[in-house]
């Protein structure tokens, strides 16, 4: 994890009342193995270094590809070249190839709608006084072999039960997180050029192995209440961990890049910060694999809920998402004009910017200019990427637009 100065400290907030456990999810969660998690971490830390410019980056990427192919996922290794990147090191090398590993388990619907899980696989050991040879030595067991190992185990159990879900499940392993969220940044720019799929949200795992108080930190983002609330609820339903709501590290890991593009996300991490992270002592011998098993249970249950695993009751209401329900869409510097047959008396119009900030949240009826016709004043919005949403109790219409004046 790329850590920043703590600005806000939040005490635990209770969000949801308890609901009944889903028996089928509980049965599958019982197959999650602490031994399997430990083996995953140890195989990753067996590489002398996973630093972004180490000699082992490509090998790790192909190891992850082979593992995920074994679980029935379609794999793309998406490489990108980093040139003249400045960072502290003892030898003048600052260019090289990085590799994102993108894994897809297709859903049953024809529409390309995906739930993302992400974890970075690179690591660094800069906290050793006087040590700079992290190209060759950086074990990174907690940061972040633990997150990668947890997603490998999630994929194993998903495959073991041959789970069929309504929406695509995408598990992605990112390079270069430690020096600026580089892998997820590259991924988001490619994903958005142009948008080719509906993204339900992204669940990020970073440093999930060190434990002292059986507490899980759930980092929340202001546009992602349903993901945050569901993570808290499922923690209580399927584990004995204490969920702690926080926003300490929202910009310190790959979920940040999804959030700033306006996507929903939640970031799961350990509450008791490892004293060994970014050192040569970041070893599996300091990790609690029973604790990791419980965090894997939370992640697995979220995959079942949000990807709509068949045969499982899903707490979230079924919501249609159809951009084609907005017709005759016209955009000027000052106005959005469009038609929709959605009932304006029962719908809300929402505009969210690329930082996830709510810019307009007003009844759709406010903007009526004719039969099924609407006009929205956007003159106060700055240049950038926006999401227009029209929502009702059973429907959500989504339209993306860009302002460049």
Q: Classify 72 as helix, strand or coil.
A: coil
Render pLDDT for 108-152 as a digit per residue (tens, 0 to 9).
987 789 999 999 999 998 766 666 677 788 899 999 999 999 999
> What is the pLDDT at residue 12?
32
Asked whether residue 396 carries a pLDDT value surpassing 80, the answer given is: no
**Mean of the per-residue pLDDT values of the chain:** 85
Q: What band does 312 get if pLDDT is binned at 50, 70 and 90?
A: very low
Instruction: Give the C-alpha separation, 337 to 360, whole Å.
Output: 15
In this predicted structure, what is the pLDDT of residue 88? 55
Which sign does the torsion angle of CA 215, 218, 219, 222 carry?
negative
Identify which of 240, 237, 305 has the alpha carbon closest to the alpha carbon of residue 266.
Answer: 305
Distance CA 296, CA 32 (A): 7
CA dihedral 189, 195, 198, 204 (to 10 degrees): 0
**What angle do the packed helices 289-306 and 225-238 form, to 10 degrees?**
130
Nearest of 227, 208, 224 to residue 216 by alpha carbon? 208
Out of 51-60, 71-80, 131-140, which region has the weakest mean confidence (pLDDT)?
131-140
Indicate yes or no: pTM above 0.85.
Answer: no
Q: Which of 144, 157, 194, 168 is nearest to 71 (CA)?
A: 157
Q: What is the pLDDT of residue 17?
A: 32
What was the pLDDT predicted at 320?
44
**Residue 153 predicted with pLDDT over 90:** yes
pLDDT at 369: 92
Distance CA 218, CA 267 (A): 6
| Short-list 230, 304, 203, 165, CA closest to 19 | 230
**What is the pLDDT at residue 324?**
59
For the cut 90, the answer to whether the pLDDT of residue 23 exceeds it is: no
The pLDDT confidence band at residue 22, using thresholds 50, 70 and 90, is low
Whether 173 and 121 have beta carbons less than 8 Å apart is answered as yes
Token pair, residue 298, equals: 């939370």
Give the model's pLDDT for residue 357. 66
Beta strand 395-403 pairing with 384-391: antiparallel
Q: What is the 3-state secondary structure (H, E, C) of 202-269?
A: EEEECCCCCCCCCEEEEECCCCCHHHHHHHHHHHHHHCCCEEEEECCCCCCCCHHHHHCCCCCEEEEE
Average pLDDT over residues 149-175: 96
Give the pLDDT mean for 188-211: 92
Question: What are the residues whose beta carbons fall under 8 Å from the beta carbon of 291, sequence distance 6 or more?
Answer: 208, 209, 211, 214, 241, 270
What does the pLDDT read at residue 313?
32
Tell me the residue ranges of DSSP E strands in 23-144. 74-82, 96-105, 113-120
Q: How confident is the model at residue 2 (pLDDT cuts 50, 70, 90)?
A: low
Average of per-residue pLDDT across 35-56: 94
**What pLDDT is attached to residue 15?**
33
pLDDT at 140: 96
pLDDT of residue 129: 66
Confidence at residue 356, expressed as pLDDT on a 0 to 100 scale: 54
158 close to 106: Cβ distance less than 8 angstroms: no
- Which is nearest to 95 in space by CA: 86, 104, 103? 86
What average pLDDT score do residues 316-323 get?
42
Q: For residues 165-186, give the mean pLDDT.
A: 95
Q: Assign 317 a pLDDT band (cuts: 50, 70, 90).
A: very low
- Which stretch of 210-214, 271-275, 309-313 has the lowest confidence by average pLDDT? 309-313
Give the pLDDT confidence score for residue 197 in this predicted structure. 86
Q: State the Rg of the chain over Cα.
A: 22
Average pLDDT over residues 159-187: 94
């Amino acid at each position: 994890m790329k850590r920043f100065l703590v600005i806000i400290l939040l005490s635990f907030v209770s969000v949801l009342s308890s609901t009944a456990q889903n028996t089928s999810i509980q049965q599958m969660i019982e197959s999650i193995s602490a031994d399997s998690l430990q083996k995953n971490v140890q195989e990753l830390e067996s590489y002398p270094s996973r630093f972004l410019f180490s000699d082992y980056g490509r090998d790790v990427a192909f190891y992850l590809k082979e593992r995920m192919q074994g679980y029935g996922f379609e794999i793309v290794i998406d490489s990108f070249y980093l040139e003249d990147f400045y960072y502290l090191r003892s030898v003048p090398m600052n260019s090289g190839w990085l590799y994102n590993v993108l894994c897809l388990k297709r859903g049953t619907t024809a529409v390309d709608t995906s739930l993302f899980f992400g974890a970075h696989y690179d690591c660094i050991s800069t906290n050793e006084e006087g040590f700079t040879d992290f190209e060759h030595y950086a074990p990174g067991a907690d940061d972040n072999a633990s997150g990668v190992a947890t997603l490998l185990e999630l994929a194993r159990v998903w495959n073991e039960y041959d789970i069929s879900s309504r929406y695509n499940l995408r598990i992605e392993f990112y390079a270069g997180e430690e020096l600026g969220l580089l892998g997820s940044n590259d991924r988001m720019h490619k994903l958005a050029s142009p948008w080719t799929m509906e993204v339900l949200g992204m669940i990020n795992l970073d440093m999930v192995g060190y434990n002292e108080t059986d507490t899980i930190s759930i980092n929340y983002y202001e546009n992602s209440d349903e993901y945050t609330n569901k993570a808290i609820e499922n923690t209580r339903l399927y584990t004995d961990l204490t969920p702690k709501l926080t926003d300490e590290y929202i910009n310190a890991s790959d979920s940040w890049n999804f959030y700033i593009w306006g996507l929903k996300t939640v970031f799961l991490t350990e509450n008791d910060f490892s004293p060994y992270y970014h050192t040569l002592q970041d070893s599996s011998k300091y990790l609690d694999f029973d604790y990791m098993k419980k965090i894997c249970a939370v992640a697995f249950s979220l995959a079942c809920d949000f990807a709509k695993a068949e045969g499982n009751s899903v707490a979230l209401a079924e919501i249609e998402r159809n951009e084609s329900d907005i017709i005759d869409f016209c955009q000027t510097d000052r106005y959005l004009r469009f038609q929709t047959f959605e009932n304006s008396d029962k719908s809300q119009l929402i505009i969210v910017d690329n930082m996830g900030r709510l810019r307009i949240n007003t009844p759709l009826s406010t903007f009526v200019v004719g039969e099924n016709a609407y006009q929205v004043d956007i003159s106060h919005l700055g240049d950038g990427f926006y999401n227009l949403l029209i929502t009702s109790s059973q429907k959500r219409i989504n339209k993306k637009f860009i302002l460049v004046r």
